[in-house]
Structure 1
Amino acid sequence: MSSKLIKPFMLMFLLTISTQFFGLIKNIFIAKIFGVGTAVDAYNLANTYTVSITNLAIPAIIIVLIPFLTKRGSGVAEYAAINTYVSALLLGITVAVGISIGSVAVILQSQSDLSDTLTLTLSIIMILSVAQIYRVLTAVLTAFRQVENDFLTTKIATLCSTIFSGIYMVVAQDPSILLVSLSLTLSFVLEAAILLIKNRGFGFRIQFKWGNRIFHKLIRQTGPVVFNSIVFQISLLFSTTLASFLGQGYVATLGYANQILSIIQALVLVNILTLVYPSMSRIFAKKIAAGKELFIKYAIVTNMLVIPLIIGIAVIGDLFTALLFERGAFTANDTQQVTLFMTVLSVGLPGLVLRDFIYRVYFCLDDTKTPSKISVFTIIANFLLLLVLTPTFNIYAILFIPGIMNFVSAWFAYRLLEKRIGRIDIRHKLVKQQLLTLFNASVMGVVLYYLKAQFSFMPILTFLLLVVIGIAIYGILVFLTQRRFIQTLKTKGVNE
């Protein structure tokens, strides 16, 4: 990583660690009080359903709005286009939320024979739906901060929001899952308020200039993104709902597993993508060759951090899960189940890294259609495979198939990208470095597996010792086998 980005990345890393820490405290209390029971199933299902509303708009903000903001001029028409585009997104999400709340209210009033779990799920949906308006507003305000190279304000706002949402769980004597949901909604209101204060005098205003030609162009680019999001959300809702029918507690177990994996994604993938995407957009607009080099560099660096974490999860993930959650209603059996789910799900993360970086290249080229087409075909394949294989493999089909499809979609996207911009990795640096990373991480994993069987200390000491030893071993192996690549990061940085 170039020296210009190291300092903001480290600050973001520390803020993200703090956010994840306070988020984990909240989840630890949820696990202790509710375990993997129906309350957590209802909470996770409702969260999945309501977030699916927001995820129709947020990808458009990331994919369409940020590149436009990095290249915009100072004309009146461009400002009007931005204002209209953002206003349309907020209006659309508000209408969708209103329809969602109204539909749920009608169901609750007209159906008196609903199960307790379904009634609870629908009640939580009504509460969390309101939060989605503020999530979209936060995403818009975040985009304006990022194009100004202000990556820290948004992280601080997220940290404050996370602390606020966890206060209720920590101080409540007899917490209710409904009030947990309400505290989460209010936390998004707080996060949006902080960003609104920071963005005073800079950003957007509510304006509707429907005839603006630049706005029409943004809408044309947004169409494929929203369509892809709709298909993806249907697939996600299908998988989650399918898991709820396969057995009680599966949705909760998936939720805990994904909470831990989200730490890796937040610390590494999201932070790096957040930092480099505006730079990639500018560089690809100037010189394709320099953009290719930047893509290869950061895809390798990201997986150099992700792959050893995956190996670590497979070897000592049970210790981590037990330290976090195993108390109260959360049993040792729950620990083993969460760790198994987490390990299987993590296998797809390197493919996710590659796919997300490749898609960002398309977006830098103002091409939102190709990634959308690839995603649609991938999601359809995922859907069909789940229908065919779930009766035989049960919950394991839901765990394995999405990860496999990450690699498949990344491969197709890469091949199509090469047809458009020419050979990307002539020296096969991308493959070679990631194979080296996998080798180094595997050696580390073997050593940790052996030492884990030998250690008989208290669990937290065992875990910390294994983490320190793992970092040392992996660091030494990287120095011995990938030192030349690390040096190129320092000496051949792209002008960003």
Structure 2
Amino acid sequence: MTSKLIKPFMLMLLLTLSTQFFGLIKNVFIAKIFGVGAEVDAYNLANTYTISITNLAIPAIIVVLIPFLTKRGDSVAERAAINTYVSVLLLVIALAVGIGIGSLSWVLKNQHGLSESLTITLSIIMILSTAQVYRVLTAVLTAFRQVENDFLTAKIATLCGTILSSIYIIVAQSPSILLVSLFLTISFMLEATILLVRNRGFGFRIQFKWGNRIFRKLIQQTGPVVFNSIVSQVSLLLSITLASFIGQGYVATLGYANQILSIIQALILVNILTITYPSMSRIFAKTTAVGKELFIKYAIVTNMLVIPLVIGIAVIGDLFTALLFERGAFTAADTKQVTLFMTVLGIGLPGLVLRDFIYRIYFCLDDTKTPSRISVITIIVNVLLLLILTPIFNIYAVLFIPGFMNFVSAWFAYRLLEKRIGRIDARHKLVKQQLLVIFNASVMGVVLYYLKAYIHLSPILGFLLLVVTGIVVYGAMVLLTQRRFIQALKMKGANNDEESVDNELGSPLE
């Protein structure tokens, strides 16, 4: 990562840590009060179903809108295209939400004999559906801030929303899962409001210019992204639904496991992608050669952080889960199950890192069709494998198959990309460094595994000692085996990547 990006990245890291902390506090109270019972199953199912609505639009904002904003001029036609594009996204989501709420209201009012669990699930879906319009609005406003190199406002807004959504469950004496959902919806409203205030005088306005040629081009690029999102959401919903049918508590357990893993994703992958994607888009527009180097560097650095965390979770994740959740209705058996789920799910994270960076290269090249085609194929295979193997391997098929498909889709995307832009990693630096990272993290894991058996301290002191030991061991291994890469990284980071491109081409960036 370049020196110019390190300061905002560290600030984003601090804000993300704060957000994840308050999110964890909220889930600690949910675990204490509700455990892994039917109410948490209903809450997680409803959350997954409603988020799937906005996940049709948000990828389009990331994939299509951000690259366009980084390259746009200030013509009337371009402004009209942006206004129309955003207005259409918001309108479509608002209509979908309105139809969904109306349909569920009719079902709850006219259908008798619904189980209590299903009634709670449908009620929570109605509450959370309203939040999805604000999620899309937040994503749009965040995109406008990011192309202006303002990466912090969105993080501050998210932190404020997370604090608000946590207040009720913390202070209420007899909390209701329905009110937990209501406060979550209000938190999305607050987040969007903060970004609206920050974007005053800059951004978009509601406008519909259907004949605008630039708008039509954006819609053409959006089509494959939305289709891919639909297929992806079907796969996700199938996984969560299969988990709900396999047994009560599995959806809740998946929710707690994903909450911990999402900390890794939010702190590392999401932040690095957020801060580097606009720059990658500009650089690939200038020269592919430098873009390839950036991809290799960013992918290696990201997995240098992700892989040791995944191995650390496998070894000492049970201590972390117990410290967070094991109290009240959340038992020691629940801790073991959450840790197991978390470990299996975590195996797929390095593949997710590689896939997301490779897909970003396609998006920088204004190609949304190829990633969509790859995703559709892998998701179809994913669904088939789930349907075939879940009756045999039970919940373990639901846990393992999606992570395995992350690696499969990353490999196919990489091979097809090389056919388009030429050899990406002629010296196999990516593979060699990834193997070194796995070796270094494995050494750390072995040390922690044996040390863990000899520690007889309080849970929190024992966990902290293991964490510090893990950091020291892994850091020492990195210095021993990857010193050259670190030195090369520092030398390249001394000059901003975009400035290097300017010097190479002899023209300043816009």
TM-score (norm 1): 1.00
1:285-322 deviation line (CA, Å, top 9, x unaligned)? 00000000000000000000000000000000000000
1:379-403 deviation line (CA, Å, top 9, x unaligned)? 0000000011011100000000001
**Cα distance in structure 1, aligned partners of 2:174 and 2:497:** 55
The offset of 1:492, in angstroms, is 2.0
The offset of 1:406, in angstroms, is 0.3
1:342-364 deviation line (CA, Å, top 9, x unaligned)? 00000000000000000000000
Q: How does 1:282-293 map to 2 (within 5 A)?
A: 282-293=282-293
Instruction: Tell me whether 1:269 sits opposite 2:260 in the alignment.
Output: no
Secondary structure of residue in 1 paired with 2:497:
coil
Q: How does 1:268-417 map to 2 (within 5 A)?
A: 268-417=268-417
**Cα distance in structure 2, aligned partners of 1:149 and 1:383:** 39
1:253-295 deviation line (CA, Å, top 9, x unaligned)? 0000000000000000000000000000000000000000000
**Cα distance in structure 1, aligned partners of 2:483 and 2:92:** 50
Counterpart in the other structure of 1:161: 161
The letter of the residue matching 1:65 is L
**Cα distance in structure 1, aligned partners of 2:489 and 2:282:** 19
**Cα distance in structure 1, aligned partners of 2:488 and 2:277:** 20
The letter of the residue matching 1:108 is L
**Cα distance in structure 2, aligned partners of 1:109 and 1:378:** 40
**Cα distance in structure 2, aligned partners of 1:104 and 1:239:** 22
The offset of 1:330, in angstroms, is 0.2
Instruction: Tell me whether 1:245 sits opposite 2:245 in the alignment.
Output: yes
**Cα distance in structure 1, aligned partners of 2:100 and 2:227:** 19
**Cα distance in structure 1, aligned partners of 2:112 and 2:389:** 36
The letter of the residue matching 2:284 is F
Aligned partner (choices 497, 504, 509) of residue 495 of structure 1: 497
1:410-431 deviation line (CA, Å, top 9, x unaligned)? 0000000000000000000000
Instruction: Tell me whether 1:433 sits opposite 2:455 in the alignment.
Output: no
**Cα distance in structure 2, aligned partners of 1:492 and 1:229:** 36
The letter of the residue matching 1:263 is I
Which structure 2 segments of 5+ residues have no match? 499-510
Counterpart in the other structure of 1:125: 125
The offset of 1:495, in angstroms, is 2.1
Counterpart in the other structure of 1:98: 98
The offset of 1:103, in angstroms, is 1.2
**Cα distance in structure 2, aligned partners of 1:109 and 1:375:** 39
**Cα distance in structure 1, aligned partners of 2:489 and 2:426:** 18
**Cα distance in structure 1, aligned partners of 2:387 and 2:167:** 41
Matched pairs, number: 496
The letter of the residue matching 2:50 is T
Superposition RMSD in Å: 0.5
**Cα distance in structure 2, aligned partners of 1:251 and 1:56:** 22
Instruction: Tell me whether 1:202 sits opposite 2:202 in the alignment.
Output: yes
Secondary structure of residue in 2 paired with 1:204:
coil
Counterpart in the other structure of 1:20: 20
TM-score (norm 2): 0.97
**Cα distance in structure 1, aligned partners of 2:118 and 2:53:** 19
Counterpart in the other structure of 1:479: 479
**Cα distance in structure 2, aligned partners of 1:382 and 1:106:** 34
Counterpart in the other structure of 1:260: 260
**Cα distance in structure 2, aligned partners of 1:330 and 1:76:** 58
The letter of the residue matching 2:164 is F
Instruction: Tell me whether 1:225 sits opposite 2:225 in the alignment.
Output: yes
**Cα distance in structure 2, aligned partners of 1:139 and 1:378:** 26
The offset of 1:110, in angstroms, is 1.9
Of 3-12 and 317-326, deviating more is 3-12
**Cα distance in structure 2, aligned partners of 1:103 and 1:373:** 32
**Cα distance in structure 2, aligned partners of 1:390 and 1:465:** 39
Which structure 1 segments of 5+ residues have no match? none
**Cα distance in structure 1, aligned partners of 2:475 and 2:155:** 28
**Cα distance in structure 2, aligned partners of 1:275 and 1:483:** 25
The offset of 1:371, in angstroms, is 0.2
The letter of the residue matching 1:14 is L
Counterpart in the other structure of 2:55: 55
Of 45-54 and 103-112, deviating more is 103-112
The offset of 1:55, in angstroms, is 0.2
